[in-house]
Amino acid sequence: TRETSFVEKMKKTGKNIIVFYGSQTGTAEEFANRLSKDAQRYGMKGMVADPEEYSMGELSRLSEINNSLAIFCMATYGEGDPTDNAQDFYDWLQENDDEDLSGLNYTVFGLGNKTYEHYNAMGKYVDKRLEELGATRIFDLGLGDDDGNLEEDFISWREQFWPAVCEHFGVEASGDESSIRQYELQEHPDINMNKVYTGEIGRLKSFEVQKPPYDSKNPFLAPVTVNRKLNKAGDRHLMHLELDITGSKIRYESGDHVAVFPTNDSALVNKLGQILGVDLDVVISLNNLDEESNKKHPFPCPTTYRTALTHYLDITHPPRTNVLYELAQYASDPKDQENMRKMASSSPEGKALYQNWVLDASRNILAVLEDMPSLRPPIDHLCELLPRLQARYYSIASSSKVHPNSIHICAVVVEYETKTGRVNKGVATNWLKNKLITDNGHKSTVPMYIRKSQFRLPFKATNPVIMVGPGTGIAPFMGFIQERGWLKQQGKEVGETVLYFGCRHKNEDYIYQEELEDAERNGVLTKLNVAFSRDQDHKVYVQHHLKKNKEHVWKLIHTDNAHIYICGDARNMAKDVQTAFCEIAEELGGMTHTQAVDYIKKLMTKGRYSQDVWS
């Protein structure tokens, strides 16, 4: 049985720093690992912990350990929500008012994104709540903004955090700046291939023998039954896929998200093998040097380098500074070494170099190796340092009332040219685009699971709904429209159903045009408003149509209790649309600007204004 007391585990293994993470896409977990590794440099010993695996009521006992400290790396997900793995911890914090944490030393680093309404809500809450329960904050809350440069925010915070810890505990840095390996390489020359992972996420052979229930640790292999291009013209590729979930016992509701586990482009993997001069089909394990750690391997082992680089590791995102820092020692040119270490420092010059050479140039690890011929690290160290390849979330474009055994996805293929003249391709969308219905007589499958969301049709079918979803933001509304149609067929009285959709050109990317016009003809959609942004000399967007129909919109909201839904781009569209709703409330509700902003915020709190947005 697994030890659920982190205090006992720390005592047993001589640790005094524990780093908890709330992570949805792996970044907070990555930051937690880096902080735990840092502790060694200060003669302290750290361990990383997933709050889901331990009993968090033990926080009050941490003071039994000398010079102890709890660090929390907490990401915010969705509309200011905790990540899945921190949900129980969040509930515990909210419910336990009489908890006494007076002996607990803590600090929090939050991961968020300023384009969202509830910026860093989880980090802020944990920081405030621990103090309310009597704990001692030994360093200020750090806030990372993924809309800016999250990596830089983290480095700057960490740079000031450690000196504060040293001062608080009266310890000194050992000055050991060298790279510390976390895993050791083991090769398996004569292994039975039945014991080798080939891309499974959880259990060995879980893709051959599938057993419900299906979730993030045990995805279902869903056959692709439809894969068609939606747009008639233009240089983008918008696509509609259907996944078959027959016999899986998977249930979903319209508004939920489907998570898929993509694989990297084999051409990219082969190039990495070539440039590092490695046989990618060697079977290996990377074993944690800390035998007490819950994390035995950085990814499922034993496996081959090819499988790791294809299924388990993220090789397309620009590498984070710690990767550059740790790989610097392998550059034979001292200038390259210096630049790599500089990029990982918090000096203004180093930050600018990283921003410019890595981020703005969108250089992935292969591009870094190609443009630094002196850098040829051992592949096992590279695999230890690269982050895990993450599942991608898509808003489901169908209703389970109409399609109980099928999940629809609507997405746009990501492909762009970088400043260095390379073509970068989105991992998941290019992989999905190439999922033919049958591949050499075999069915193409997609490893997937469902993530529940708060994006739900009103409980009462008679409530009107206003849906705003330009581009692929229309996805969940295809499900909503199917569902309202189904309710009508059941003889239910259904309120007004209004859609504001937008695209570039009517004859190019007006996706789902037939379905939407049918729904309008059948009275399922009571009003279909489409903005074609580029079909005239001035841009026309969904918010312009909202303003044009302001009287109708205001009546639905203020008199008829309408629910508002917004899906799509967070950075511009969601903000502009919210501003439009505020202006309508101001103008037709006779409110001041502040009152109108409050009015919309109240709709959010009441669950009548929901967003499913991404940036």
In the chain, what is the straight-line distance between the N-terminal and C-terminal CA atoms, in Å? 41
Q: Which of 92, 486, 554, 614 is catalytic?
A: 614
Q: What element of type H or E holds 223?
A: strand 220-229
**Binding region for NADP(+):** 236, 472, 533-534, 539-543, 576
Q: Does the annotation mark 395 as catalytic?
A: yes
Q: Which of 395, 398, 399, 610 is catalytic?
A: 395
Which residues are paired to 439 by β-bridges?
442
**Binding region for FMN:** 23-28, 75-78, 111-120, 146
| Cβ atoms of residues 304 and 258 within 8 Å | no
Q: Which of 36, 567, 569, 582 is catalytic?
A: 567
Q: In this structure, what is the dihedral angle of CA atoms 312, 317, 322, 327, given to the nearest 10 degrees?
A: 80
Across 316-470, where does the E strand assignment appear?
392-395, 406-412, 415-417, 423-425, 438-439, 442-443, 445-451, 465-468
Q: Are strands 81-82 and 392-395 parallel, antiparallel or unpaired?
A: unpaired
The token duo for 118 is: 């509830």
Q: Does the annotation mark 73 as catalytic?
A: no
Q: Does the annotation mark 614 as catalytic?
A: yes
**Binding region for FAD:** 392-395, 410-412, 416, 426-429, 614
Distance CA 136, CA 133 (A): 9
- Label residue 491 exposed, middle or buried (CB < 10 Å: 0-12, 13-18, 19+): exposed
Residue 525's Cβ-side half-sphere holds a number of Cα atoms within 13 Å equal to: 24
Q: Does the annotation mark 612 as catalytic?
A: yes
Distance CA 513, CA 435 (A): 24
The token duo for 7 is: 């205090």
**Binding region:** 23-28, 75-78, 111-120, 146, 236, 392-395, 410-412, 416, 426-429, 472, 533-534, 539-543, 576, 614
| Cβ atoms of residues 366 and 447 within 8 Å | no
Rounded to 5 degrees, what are φ and ψ at 423?
A: -105, 120
Distance CA 567, CA 226 (A): 24
Q: Which of 136, 152, 134, 133 is nearest to 144 (CA)?
A: 152
Q: Using N-to-C axis directions, what is the helix angle for 475-489 and 513-521, rounded to 10°?
A: 30
The token duo for 241 is: 């896929």
User: DSSP state, 599?
Assistant: H
The token duo for 47 is: 């361990």
Residue carrying the six token digits 């629809």: 408
| Cβ atoms of residues 294 and 305 within 8 Å | no
| Cβ atoms of residues 473 and 567 within 8 Å | yes
Q: Which of 127, 153, 256, 612 is catalytic?
A: 612
Rounded to 5 degrees, what are φ and ψ at 113?
A: -150, 120
The token duo for 563 is: 């629910």
| Cβ atoms of residues 321 and 155 within 8 Å | yes
Annotated catalytic residues are: 395, 567, 612, 614
